[in-house]
Chains A and B, each alone.
Chain A
Amino acid sequence: MALSAATKAATDALSINRAPTSVNPQEVHRWLQSFNWDFAQNRTKYPTKYHMANDTKEQFKLIAKEYARMESVKDERQFGTLLDGLTRLGAGNRMHPRWGETMKVASNFLEVGEYNAIAASAMLWDSATAAEQKNGYLAQVLDEIRHTHQCGFVNYYYAKHYHDPAGHNDARRTRAIGPLWKGMKRVFADGFISGDAVECSINLQLVGEACFTNPLIVAITEWASANGDEITPTVFLSIETDELRHMANGYQTVVSIANDPAAQKYLNTDLNNAFWTQQKYFTPVLGMLFEYGSKYKVEPWVKTWNRWVYEDWGGIWIGRLAKYGVQSPPSLRDAKKDAYWAHHDLFLLAYALWPTGFFRLSLPDEEDMEWFEANYPGWDAHYGKILREWKALGCEDPKSGFLPIQWLAENGHQVYVDRVSQVPFCPSLAKSSVTTRIHEYNGQKHSFSDEWGERMWLTEPERYECQSIFEQYGGRELSDVIVEGHGLRSDEETLIAQPHVRADKLWTIDDIKRANCVFADPLSAL
């Protein structure tokens, strides 16, 4: 293979000075000008319905000159602040404990998203044909590596400084026990790296980054600050400064296929499915983490959602792409309905399954409950009533042996898992627009909770084969599952997960065992 001019320039420079101590700016300039990918013919290993055009423009040559310098300044500022200023202030232990628990989930799960974004933007590098477009994706690969480290560092920092490190210190193995994990893998892993390469770009850049990083990475910093957390804004805002270029990459993906007849046929379908995929998980999970995982509230999630997702993204951002034939996804309307109740529905189930977590969850207190009712009229009569009953039955107290997941079963509230999104749902308790659909196909039963997901499965069933936690654990006793999944603290007795954020009355594995809670798969009973 012929050496590219860039590689030759680098080789020549090295042969003159075997161990360069500095680089001549002229050399850097020359190197960047000749930066190119010398493929006689692009040969990608990833499938796609689209043809990316050859002449797409991108600004990488300009930013590349500043790139390393810019990123190193950002890193120095961030790590300097964390390791010096904030450590001296004891900032790692000053946030409300509820929020300290939220960050066990938020930072660790985002780390997975960043990790898969490395692979996704590398895949797009492989799929694109225009050299400049490849460069844009390549810069993103570098960014996403940085972000993966940053997210990992947040959990590491908390593990050292926060008063309850369990969960921050070993989330990578304990996160897989509970039901939140599989849904996160669907949006942050499969959604970014499986299927059509362009569909992946839509999932990652057009929806994940252009739509959900605003609530996920920006709004979260407001909630963090309000709850006394200086760590998260320091890191997450540094991450967010890179996202603009990633959104621009998504824009360029669309531009590169705009003249391809395939775009007319497939693009809006892929966008609708990608939007539904991402929102089905993020709408309830982010709302739950913010509102139930905090003491001091910033604003109701439904308001944030309407501003960032509905108006800003669905209206303005997608509007800018209208000239390329992109339409606002029809599933946006259904998502808007879910943004009101879905996170409350999810909290009920997450709290009911608290022993499977790698973090502590807590019930809203009376002040929180007033806030919920004031912002979501009707909340108290439904969710408030159930949560008060659980509290009265002793759900926080290990002596009671009361596990709300058993209460659900005893009261006939069946919990299913949506095969496509892996988000659990309880038809008899849901106030969001859940619609139960259960099918048998080739000897296997599948449950779904909405029409968009059902259609995705009916069209491409091999993409959605993940077992639910009930299929995985069916017949097993809860404490056995927790022990196998490493859900215990270093004393090998106390659970990492707790149903409150107090320092006393901690549940041990024996408390769980006494409750004799056995997993049953609701589908096998049908």
Chain B
Amino acid sequence: MPNYKIHQNPVRNEWLEKIAALENVKDATAFLQDFRMKYTTPLRTSYELDVDYLFIEAKAEERLSLLKVAAFSNEDLLSMATTGETAADVAQAWMPKLESEKCKFTGERIHMEFRQLYKPPVLPVNVFLKIDSYLGSRLMELRNSNYYDCSLDELREQRGVKVLMLGDAA
């Protein structure tokens, strides 16, 4: 449990220092992608930063944005990812991934990974939203089809949760 203040605390300060040390687009991109894989979305590998991750992520995004604006031409700001890929290539690589996907769990993994890797400022907003709303629409179709077909028991098993307590719930 985080026994410290919400807005100013040692954990945030420690991460702010790491973020301030990022000097170029390449390092800041790698840092942000790595941070998101470890500490964001239900796929994260650690909940250690549960009450601070959004703040830290926002600050890392801010840093990358500034580095990117300094380094990129106006044209590149609209068409390049900070990974060095063109935004169009990223769209071409990711949009087909959910096209024929039938499994909602694989689908959500693809969508979450896309967000962990490419949420702005990694991708320009214009391209990110195009891909994200496409993947999101496809995922919602998978998840919302036959919504009530499985019992809660079956759903818990599919999701892979460990049931710790079922009070008077059937």
A residues neighboring B (CB under 8 Å): 44-49, 195-196, 262, 265-266, 269-270, 427, 435-445, 451, 454-455, 458-462, 465, 467, 471-472, 474-476, 480, 484, 520-521, 524, 526
User: Are B43 and A442 in contact, CB atoms less than 8 angstroms apart?
Assistant: yes
From A443, A471, A476, contact of B46 by CB (8 A): A443
The chain B residue with its CB closest to the CB of A439 is: B161
Verify A465–B133 contact, CB threshold 8 A: no
User: Knowing A47-B133, A460-B143, A474-B2 touch, does A439 contact B164 (C-beta < 8 A)?
Assistant: yes
B166 touches A437 (CB 8 A): yes
Q: Does B112 contact A (CB under 8 A)?
A: yes
The answer to whether the Cβ of B74 comes within 8 Å of any Cβ in the partner chain is no
Q: Name A50's closest neighbour in chain B (CB-CB).
A: B137
- CB <8 Å contact, B51 and A270: no
Pick the contact of B155: A47, A458, A471, A484 (CB < 8 A).
A458
CA distance A475 to B43 in the complex (A): 26
- CB-CB under 8 A from A455, the residues of chain B are 148, 152, 155
Distance between Cα atoms of A506 and B123 in the complex (Å): 54
Q: Which residue on chain B has the smallest CB distance to residue A269?
A: B147
Q: How far is the CA of A461 from the CA of B51 in the complex (A)?
A: 17
Return the contact of A474 from the options B1, B143, B163, B168 (Cβ within 8 A). Answer: B1
Give residues of chain B (85-142) contacting chain A, Cβ–Cβ below 8 Å.
Answer: 108, 112, 129-130, 132-137, 140-141
Question: 4 other contacts beyond A439-B163, A442-B43, with CB at 8 A cut-off?
Answer: A270-B144, A442-B44, A444-B42, A474-B1
Q: Chain A nearest CB: distance from B130 CB in Å?
A: 7
Q: Is the beta-carbon distance between B166 and A44 smaller than 8 angstroms?
A: no
Binds A, one of B3-11, B16-24, B63-71, B75-83: B3-11
Bound together, the chains give a CA A437 to CA B166 distance in angstroms of 5
> What separation, in Å, do the CA atoms of A511 and B152 have in the docked complex?
46
Q: For A464, give the chain B residue with the smallest CB separation.
A: B42
Chain B contacts for A521, CB-based, 8 A: 1
CB-nearest residue of chain A relative to B168?
Answer: A435
Given contacts A437-B169, A440-B164, contact A458 B3 (CB under 8 A): no
- Residues of chain A within 8 A of B135, CB atoms compared: 47
Tell me how far the C-beta of B160 lies from the nearest C-beta in chain A, rounded to whole angstroms. 7
Residue among B108, B140, B148, B160 with the highest chain A CB neighbour number at 10 A: B140
Q: Please name the 9 residue pairs, one residue from A and one from B, whose CB atoms are nearest each other, closest first.
A: A436-B167, A474-B1, A475-B3, A47-B136, A435-B169, A439-B161, A438-B165, A45-B129, A47-B133
Given A44-B133, A437-B169, also A475-B2 (CB < 8 A): yes
Known: A437-B165, A474-B2. A467 touches B51 (CB 8 A): yes
Nearest chain B residue, comparing its CB with the CB of A45: B129
Q: What is the CA–CA distance of A458 and B105 in the complex, to the nearest angstrom?
A: 11
Q: In the bound complex, do residue A472 and residue B129 qualify as a contact, i.e. CB atoms below 8 Å apart?
A: no
CA distance A270 to B168 in the complex (A): 27
Name the A residues within 8 Å of B3 (CB-CB).
Answer: 474-476
Distance (Å) between the CB of A190 and the closest chain B CB?
Answer: 14
A48, A437, A476: which has the most chain B beta carbons within 10 Å? A437
Interface size class of B (residues with CB under 8 A): 35 or more
Chain A residues near B51 (CB, 8 Å)? 467, 471-472
What are 17 A-B interface contacts by the 8 Å CB criterion? A47-B137, A47-B140, A49-B137, A262-B141, A269-B147, A270-B144, A437-B165, A437-B167, A438-B166, A440-B162, A441-B161, A458-B152, A458-B159, A461-B159, A474-B1, A474-B3, A526-B164
Enumerate chain A residues within 8 angstroms of B144, measured Cβ to Cβ.
49, 265-266, 269-270, 459
Distance between A232 CB and nearest chain B CB, rounded to angstroms = 33
What residues of A have a CB within 8 angstroms of the CB of B156 in the complex? 439, 458
Do the beta carbons of B166 and A465 come within 8 Å of each other?
A: no
User: A472 contacts B41, CB within 8 Å?
Assistant: no
User: Which residues in B have their C-beta under 8 angstroms from that of A480?
Assistant: 5
- Bitwise, B30-53 to A at CB < 8 A (1) or not (0) is 000000000001111011001100
- Identify the interface centre among B148, B152, B165, B170: most chain A CB within 10 Å of its CB: B165
Q: Does the CB pair B168–A462 fall under 8 Å?
A: no
Chain A residues near B44 (CB-CB < 8 A): 442
Residues in B neighbouring A46, C-beta threshold 8 A = 133
List of A residues within 8 angstroms of B164 by Cβ: 438-440, 445, 526
Contacts of A49 in B (CB 8 A): 137, 140-141, 144
Residue in A closest to B42 when the chains form the complex, CB atoms: A461
The closest CB in chain B to the CB of A127 belongs to: B133
Complex Cα–Cα for A377 and B16 (A): 57
Q: Among B4, B108, B161, B165, which residue has its beta carbon within 8 angstroms of that of A462?
A: B108
Minimal Cβ-Cβ distance residue in A for B141: A49
Report if A467-B167 is in contact (Cβ < 8 Å); known contacts: A441-B161, A521-B1. no
- Give bound CA distance, A489 to B138, whole Å: 50
A196 and B140 form a contact (CB under 8 A): yes
Minimal Cβ-Cβ distance residue in A for B159: A458
Tell me which residues across on chain B come within 8 A of A461, comparing CB atoms: 42, 159
Contact present for B147 and A459 (CB under 8 Å): yes
Assess whether A45 is in contact with B1, with CB atoms less than 8 Å apart.
no
Q: Establish whether residues B165 and A47, one from each chain, have CB atoms under 8 Å apart when the complex forms.
A: no
- Residue from the list B41, B47, B130, B140 in contact with A45, Cβ < 8 A: B130
Provide the residues of chain B in CB contact with A467, threshold 8 Å. Answer: 50-51
The answer to whether residues A465 and B42 also contact, given A439-B161, A472-B6, A474-B2 and a CB cut-off of 8 A, is yes
Contact A195–B169 (Cβ < 8 Å):
no
Once the chains are docked, how many angstroms separate the CA of A139 from the CA of B1?
A: 47
What are the residues of chain A within 8 A of B152 when measuring CB–CB?
451, 454-455, 458
- In this complex, what residue of B is CB-closest to A196? B140
Task: Give every chain B residue within 8 A of A458 (Cβ-Cβ).
Answer: 152, 155-156, 159, 161
- In the complex, the chain B residue whose C-beta lies closest to that of A460 is B143
- Please name the residue on chain B nearest to A461 by beta carbon: B42
